[in-house]
A and B are shown apart, each in its own frame.
Chain A
Amino acid sequence: MILTVADLDVAYGKARAVSGVSLHVAEGEMVFIVGRNGAGKTTLLKTVAGFLAPAAGTVTFDGRVTNGLPAERMAVRGLRYVFQDKRVFSQLTVRENIELAAYPTGVKMAAAIDTVVGIHPGIRRFLDSKAGGLSGGQRQLLLLGRALIGSPKLLLIDEPTEGLAAGTIREVFTVLSGMKGHLSMVIVEQNLPVVSQLADRIYAMREGRILGELTEPADIKDRAKVEAFL
């Protein structure tokens, strides 16, 4: 397993946001976490990424218990987090955004640019433009491409299609499809058609707990079953 979460509790002060969550991700698996707003999905991802410290339970990433390991160490170890808000470093150019992602990995700039352009060929003409001028969809594709620099071991992606136009959702879907089977991913998503078509397994969360898990491909492809599962 590339990721194992066991009996995880996460609290904001006295408010418990995640309670007794256990899940696992095998190498190359694409696991989705679905649930309504406020279910604790993002809190779970942030805790796995090292930004929040769990109150109880363990996170084991790539064979090592990583409780207490800060987020920058997790990133160096090969865990990448793509945030929900699609924020890039808007005052820097696209090229500088890529350079920043490449530098800690030791990947050369040319290879890093190739990685990002491989995701979104159209970004090449914006390399020397301020990243803040990109559309929401372009930023999302830049962020996905940036996350792939340096051959990460696990991607955590928070609502990649949220707020995007239909055409851009198709582009993101194509990118994620291309990564399926090659890269381990945990994706928080509320777009059920995307979930149904891509997921290897689905966890449903509500009020900070795991409700259940869908593992059968037939069940996953059945959108009605996924909706009922929620």
Chain B
Amino acid sequence: MKTICRFERWRRVDILLVAAAFLLLAPVLSVQRTTDFMIFCIFVLAYDLLYGHMGRLSFGHMLYLGLGAYAAALCAEHLNDNPFFALFAGTLGGALAGVILGPIVVRTTGACFALINLAFNQVGYFLVVAAFAEWTSGENGMSASFAPIGGFDLGNRYLMFGVTLISLLVVVLLMRRLTDSPFGLLLRTIKENERRSIFLGYNTYLYKWLAFTISTAVAGFAGALSSLNYAFVTPSFIDPARSVEVVFAALIGGAGSVYGALVGGVAFMAISNYLPNFVQRWEMFLGVVLLLLVFKFREGIWGYLLRLQTARLGEKSR
């Protein structure tokens, strides 16, 4: 009953394929738009570690993206305008949020998990827009200017594209290593049956906390990249209403797969960026897509392709 998936044979060169895909996309969409796509894919990868692998649905993941974005911008404004330092600050901001909120959040499951993240996101949004408006410029947003490093200015869109592409490849490698490791295996058992994992000798609380923190750190990193890309940060970066976008992307691509997250990220960005040009109420189209996913393509685009390939290989072997 050994199942072989031809896609698995491409794993040795998949990083090159991912790079090639985005390099080919750049002249089609534009370099800056492709950079947006890649940053969103990093965010989806972060989210999918929690949702796809650990089975925890969050409705407030924009909090961590936004924290990263604002941390990077504030770092540049008040501490150090080195863009890599800002990236570090953004990642650290996301990670700290995971370390501090994680002990509370990961005790919950199901709807409680989803809503407690939403609640924290709401709090974060309020802090940005009102409580700390003196720092963040509230609803107006704040500019984020970063110094050139050794003649390299990340304001140059080609350079920013290169940095983002390398960042995406690093995150893909990291997530693949994580999810293929015993740690990733344990996350999947927590998703399926946490109690049985406990009886095998695992302190699942600690592992959930760790996974949560990695997810928020990578989301913060995506936020910091957004800050560098736009040189501007607004409350929309931390808007709870936008948290559903990453959920859609994970579902469209196929939750629980690194490649699904990439496919979903690109698909969602394509729908949200280009469909409005043709369809006035494009959100309704998104709703129809979601219904199709729920009823016919639960495993998302990538999962569906894998299933087709497995079925074809199964037929050939008979």
Spell out A's residues near B (CB within 8 Å): 49, 51, 70-72, 75-76, 80-81, 83, 87, 89-92, 96, 99-101, 103-105, 125-126, 128-129, 133
Contacts and interface: CB of A to CB of B under 8 A. Distances in A.
Contact of B185 (A70, A100, A126, A128): A100
Interface in B184-212: 185-186, 188-189, 192-193, 195-204
A104 B202 contact: yes
A49 B199 contact: yes
B3 interface: yes
Given A87-B196, A133-B1, A92 B202 contact: no
Given A75-B199, A125-B1, 19 more contacts: A51-B198, A51-B199, A70-B203, A71-B199, A72-B201, A72-B202, A75-B200, A83-B196, A87-B193, A89-B189, A89-B193, A92-B188, A92-B192, A96-B185, A100-B197, A104-B202, A105-B201, A129-B2, A133-B1
Given A103-B182, A126-B1, A128-B2, A89 B196 contact: yes
Contacts of B195: 51
A21 to B, nearest CB: 21
Contacts of A103: 182
Interface residues of B, number: 20
A104 B2 contact: no
A99 to B, nearest CB: 7
Contacts of B193: 87, 89
Nearest to B191: A91
Interface string B159-202: 00000000000000000000000100110110011011111111
A104 B200 contact: yes
In the A-B complex, list the 10 residue pairs whose CB atoms are closest, starting with the nearest.
Answer: A104-B201, A75-B201, A129-B1, A76-B201, A72-B198, A71-B198, A89-B189, A81-B199, A128-B2, A72-B203
A105 B182 CA distance: 13
A101 B185 contact: no
B106 to A, nearest CB: 15
B185 A99 contact: yes
Contacts, number: 61
A92 B1 contact: no
22 contacts: A51-B199, A70-B198, A70-B203, A71-B198, A72-B201, A72-B202, A72-B203, A72-B204, A75-B199, A80-B199, A81-B199, A83-B199, A87-B196, A89-B192, A89-B196, A90-B192, A92-B185, A99-B182, A100-B200, A103-B182, A105-B201, A129-B2
A63 to B, nearest CB: 19
Nearest to B195: A51
Contacts of A92: 185, 188-189, 192
Nearest to B206: A72
A123 B199 CA distance: 22
Contact of A100 (B1, B3, B189): B189
Contacts of A80: 199
A189 to B, nearest CB: 19
Given A72-B201, A105-B201, A100 B182 contact: yes
Contacts of B202: 72, 104
Contacts of A105: 201
Contacts of A133: 1
A190 to B, nearest CB: 22
Contacts of B1: 125-126, 129, 133
A62 B203 CA distance: 21
B260 to A, nearest CB: 15
A92 B203 CA distance: 20
A80 B193 CA distance: 17
B89 to A, nearest CB: 35
A222 to B, nearest CB: 35
Interface string B77-120: 00000000000000000000000000000000000000000000
A91 B299 CA distance: 14
Given A99-B182, A100-B182, A91 B188 contact: yes
Nearest to A80: B199
Contacts of A129: 1-3
Contacts of B203: 70, 72
Contacts of B2: 128-129
Q: For A72, A75, A105, which residue has the most chain B Cβ atoms within 10 angstroms?
A: A72
Nearest to A133: B1
